[in-house]
Amino acid sequence: MIACFDIGGSAIKAAIARSPSDIEILGSRPTPLRDFDAFADALAAAIAEAGLPPHAPAALSITGVVDPASGTIKVANIPCIDGRTLGPDLTQRLGRPVTVANDADCFALAEAVEGAGAGHRIVFGAILGTGVGGGLVIDGRLVQGAGGFAGEWGHGPITATRAGTPPVEVPRFPCGCGQVGCVDAVGGARGLERLHAHLHGVGRTSREITDAWLAGDAAAARTIDVFTDLVADPLALVVNVIGADIIPVGGGLSNVRPLLERLDAAVRARILRRTGAPLVVPAQCRVEPGLIGAAIMGSREGAHAAAA
């Protein structure tokens, strides 16, 4: 058995995994943000409550980027672990092997093994949530890359400055990463809201925009038109570069199926490979994909350690 955790800035979700397809959710508790001992104690308490045997491994899916070379983690919204070698630190503190991976990477791995990407060789898991993220899995193995940034298609000054039909001028909005013109600044829920406000001078939530679009509202339709153009271009480039067989999409905007269908059609019209089969599809691991991905990572690390 493996202790699995999906850790965000507000909550730690815990589970016990007997296999990636057999996961028992244990509940959640607040994430300690500024005290590492309290953070480690929260994980230890969840493990103790689950009754895991001594030295059973633990695996964490977390909102941060882990450098595979150094093991250090960058996670701005949990200051007490930012900059630490979190896996080794927790291994020593908890007395059991601990594996740590980015949550988008865990999502991509879950989809590649247990979800929409099962049976496909190259799977790019895309997140359209509050912002934009992603992870790359090839032949069932997670590709982390230098610095742990592989799959991060949401960042870099690449967005178009004219989009939609007919084209409209779109500024390169500042991004939280410090750059301008990132897909993250226009591609997630906050980006959709930013676009709508720019185009129409009205602030609406992403849910209000998509609901209005589906109800036939012309202003919302214009926003979706521009949004699709801005997101489909870089996503098509990702497909051409890595040769993805399929792109499972998670995050809140993935729940708007007509939006994904429109994005899928736009991406397939822009790539070199011609296919009549859907490429951009809803994720199938709808419940806690981070925990599923963590379970896969943990079980593989455990098997590797046992074989060593």
DSSP assignment of 204-271 equals: --HHHHHHHHHTT-HHHHHHHHHHHHHHHHHHHHHHHHHT-SBEEEESGGGG-HHHHHHHHHHHHHHS
Contact indicator for 2, 302 with CB cutoff of 8 Å: yes
Residue 306 pLDDT exceeds 70: no
275 vs 147: CA distance, rounded Å: 34
Residue 244 pLDDT exceeds 80: yes
174 vs 111: CA distance, rounded Å: 31
Residue 307 pLDDT exceeds 60: no
Return residue ranges of the chain for CATH 3.30.420.40. Answer: 2-105+287-307, 118-282
What pLDDT sits at residue 308?
Answer: 47
Rounded to the nearest integer, the mean pLDDT of the chain is 93
- pLDDT tens digits along 57-77: 999 999 889 999 999 999 989
| Residue 303's pLDDT band (cuts 50, 70, 90) | low
Q: Which of 49, 52, 30, 44 is nearest to 90 (CA)?
A: 44
Q: Helix 103-114 to helix 289-307 angle, to the nearest 10 degrees?
A: 80
- What class does CATH assign to 2-105+287-307? alpha beta
Measured CA distances, 57 to 20, 65, 71, 84, 265 (Å): 14, 21, 17, 20, 43
Length of the chain: 308
Residue 110 pLDDT exceeds 60: yes
Q: Which fold has domain 118-282?
A: Nucleotidyltransferase; domain 5 (3.30.420)
